[in-house]
């Protein structure tokens, strides 16, 4: 199917219906050439329209001052609404189920207020082992917070948090083990909360079946989609997911520390009695500026907002989401699959050619439905030297301690030629660091 030749890569690029989107991004330079940027799983490239969109808001601030909330070209009062439709298409949700707000971990805490509701009988949380530290810290601190309440003493993170682990000698968590763990703890389970994909291995979990099993066992189910939004085909509404959160600076290309997003299923949006931490921007907008004494949540994900929109970072995200809208998630996912397959192919070719199979191997699952754009490589020896050699050749990849090299070929701006060129430099690195 694949060939490790420049001619084959160029043929794939010629046939790529999304090839023109590469020109809509700025690439860092290395020796006056575009770098091979395989780090979109950590920080996406800047869309070429970002500067224009942010400068528009700066000009309107300069021109109108406070009146920009209503008379700016893109009025700031409803600014979060300008992102709603395009964001909902990325995550497979109804527009009213999605809100752009805050940062990722802030949103985790805000939604756990509503969706982690432990009782004496049901208080446990299932997550994946080696979740991203922010997720682990958030879950631990939520358990400790509830342990401080007078009627709920005794909660301990070591007991309350159940970590899904791979089997001995494996790196990915088997799907059947996820379902079996939910079933095993069904009588004491309050919440399933999993990062998808896992930031370290790149493993993608079956969200629909996990959600279904969690609900059958009486638990609520949420996901951290920091590495999923803009990468995976998501259908949060159809899968009946209770809630989800994500950042926007990875595959969504909104810039360092970009404003985050959240999803709340409509069945919960319509429940105005649901406990939440309230802020004035979550109040019904029809009465927001009458400053009512009591909070009246709007019947949408907007009800979880606390404060008015951070317009400048939202402008950066808006520029990127318009690129996603033009490309379409269906075509992006189709290209991502082929691009990712080719990346795995050239990596394995280099490993075999240099007889490095015992030292270097892919830990991201092989099956397509268990992976996205990211490829994670275990490098048992000389991993940092391999990473450094790639950097000297203009390859931007990511090293994670203690022994993982992460790469992501992103369909919006990476090409098959990028993958082929990477393969050459990776092969060089293995030759230089033979065991």
3-state secondary structure of 157: helix
Q: Tell me which H or E stretch contains 431.
A: helix 416-432
Read off the pLDDT of each residue in 319-339 and give the average, rounded to a whole number.
Answer: 98
**d(Cα 396, Cα 383) in Å, to the nearest integer?**
15
Provide the β-strand partners of residue 393: none
Query: Using an 8 Å Cβ cutoff, are 90 and 230 in contact?
Result: yes
Q: What mean pLDDT value characterizes the chain?
A: 95
* Token code pair at residue 12: 């794939």
Q: Give mean pLDDT, residues 35-61.
A: 98
Q: Is the pLDDT of residue 150 over 80?
A: no
Pairwise CA distance, residues 177 & 164, whole Å: 8
291 CB neighbour count, 10 Å cutoff = 8
What are 404's two structure tokens?
A: 């993982």
What's residue 435's pLDDT? 54
The region of weakest confidence among 35-49, 62-76, 289-303 is 289-303
pTM for the full predicted model: 0.95
pLDDT digits (tens, 9 = 90+) for 177-190: 999 999 999 999 99
| pLDDT tens by residue, 110-145 | 999 999 999 889 999 999 998 888 899 999 999 998
In angstroms, the CA 426 to CA 266 distance is 47
∠ CA 280-116-227 to the nearest 5 degrees?
85
Bigger pLDDT: 120 vs 208: 208
C-alpha of 113 from chain center? 21
pLDDT higher than 80, residue 401: yes
Nearest to 85 by CA among 94, 73, 76, 75: 94
Is residue 206 pLDDT above 80, yes or no?
A: yes
Residue labelled with tokens 């007889």:
355
What is the mean pLDDT of the segment spanning 194-218? Answer: 97
Q: Please write the tens of the pLDDT for every residue from 68-98.
A: 999 999 999 999 999 999 999 999 999 999 9
What is the percent of the chain where pLDDT is above 70?
98
DSSP bridge pairs for 362: 377
Reported as a single tens digit per residue, the pLDDT across 96-105 is 999 999 999 9
What pLDDT sits at residue 293?
85
pLDDT exceeding 90 applies to what percent of the chain? 87
- What CA dihedral angle connects 358, 361, 367 and 372, to 10 degrees? 170
Between residues 154 and 190, the one the model is more confident about: 190
Cα–Cα distance measured from residue 36 to residue 410, given in angstroms and rounded to the nearest whole number: 11
- Look at residue 285 in the predicted model and tell me its pLDDT: 82
Nearest to 236, CA basis, from 227, 225, 226, 247: 225
Alpha carbon 305 to chain centroid, angstroms: 20
Round to whole Å and give the CA distance between 247 and 108: 11
CA 183 to each of CA 167, 176, 178, 217, 223: distance values in angstroms, whole numbers, following the listed order: 18, 11, 9, 7, 18
Contact between residue 276 and residue 303 where contact means Cβ atoms under 8 Å apart: yes
Given a contact cutoff of 8 angstroms between Cβ atoms, the answer to whether 375 and 38 are in contact is no
Query: Which domains does the chain possess?
Result: 6-34+329-432 (3.90.1150.10), 55-326 (3.40.640.10)
The SS3 of residue 205 is: coil
Integer-rounded Cα Rg, in Å, for the chain is 23
Q: Which pLDDT does position 269 carry in this prediction?
A: 94
- Helix, coil or strand: residue 261: strand
Whether residue 352 has a cis bond before it, omega within 30° of 0: no
Does the pLDDT value for residue 287 go beyond 90? Answer: no
Q: pLDDT tens across 266-285, in order? A: 999 989 889 999 998 888 88
What pLDDT score was predicted for residue 153?
58
Instruction: Give the C-alpha separation, 410 to 369, whole Å.
Output: 17
- Asked if pLDDT for residue 23 goes beyond 70, the answer is yes
């Amino acid at each position: 199917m694949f060939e490790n030749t420049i001619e084959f890569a160029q043929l794939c690029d010629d046939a790529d219906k999304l090839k023109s989107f590469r020109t809509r991004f700025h690439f860092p330079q290395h020796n006056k050439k575009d770098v091979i940027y395989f780090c979109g799983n950590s920080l996406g490239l800047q869309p070429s329209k970002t500067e224009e969109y942010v400068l528009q808001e700066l000009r309107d601030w300069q021109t109108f001052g406070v009146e920009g909330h209503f008379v700016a070209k893109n009025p700031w009062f409803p600014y979060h609404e300008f992102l709603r439709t395009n964001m909902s298409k990325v995550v497979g949700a109804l527009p009213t189920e999605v809100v752009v707000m805050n940062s990722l971990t802030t949103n985790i805490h805000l939604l756990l207020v509503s969706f982690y509701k432990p009782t004496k009988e049901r208080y446990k949380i299932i997550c994946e082992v080696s979740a991203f530290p922010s997720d682990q810290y958030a879950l631990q601190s939520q358990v400790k917070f509830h342990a401080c309440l007078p009627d709920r003493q005794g909660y301990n993170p070591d007991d309350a948090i159940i970590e899904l682990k791979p089997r001995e000698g494996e790196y990915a968590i088997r799907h059947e083990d996820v379902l079996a763990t939910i079933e095993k703890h069904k009588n004491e389970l309050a919440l399933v909360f999993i990062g998808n994909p896992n930031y370290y291995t790149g493993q993608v979990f079956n969200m629909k079946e996990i959600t279904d099993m969690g609900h059958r066992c009486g638990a609520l189910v949420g996901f951290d989609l920091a590495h999923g939004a803009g990468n995976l085909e998501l259908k949060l509404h159809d899968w009946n997911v209770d809630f989800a959160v994500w950042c926007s600076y990875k595959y969504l290309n909104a810039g360092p520390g970009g404003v985050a997003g959240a999803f709340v299923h409509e069945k919960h949006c319509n429940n105005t009695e649901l406990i939440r931490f309230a802020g004035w921007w979550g109040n019904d907008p029809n009465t927001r500026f009458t400053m009512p004494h009591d909070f009246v949540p709007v019947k949408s994900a907007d009800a979880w907002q606390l404060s008015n929109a951070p317009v400048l970072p939202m402008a950066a995200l808006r520029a990127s989401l318009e690129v996603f809208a033009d490309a379409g998630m269906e075509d992006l996912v189709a290209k991502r699959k082929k691009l990712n397959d080719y990346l795995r192919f050239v990596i394995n070719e280099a490993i075999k050619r240099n007889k490095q199979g015992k030292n270097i191997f892919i830990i991201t699952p092989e099956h397509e439905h268990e992976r996205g754009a990211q490829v994670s490589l275990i490098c048992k020896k000389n991993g940092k030297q391999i990473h450094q050699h790639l950097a000297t050749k203009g390859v931007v990849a990511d090293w994670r301690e203690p022994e993982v090299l992460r790469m992501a070929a992103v369909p919006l701006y990476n090409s098959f030629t990028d993958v082929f060129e990477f393969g050459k430099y990776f092969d060089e690195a293995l030759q230089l660091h033979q065991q």
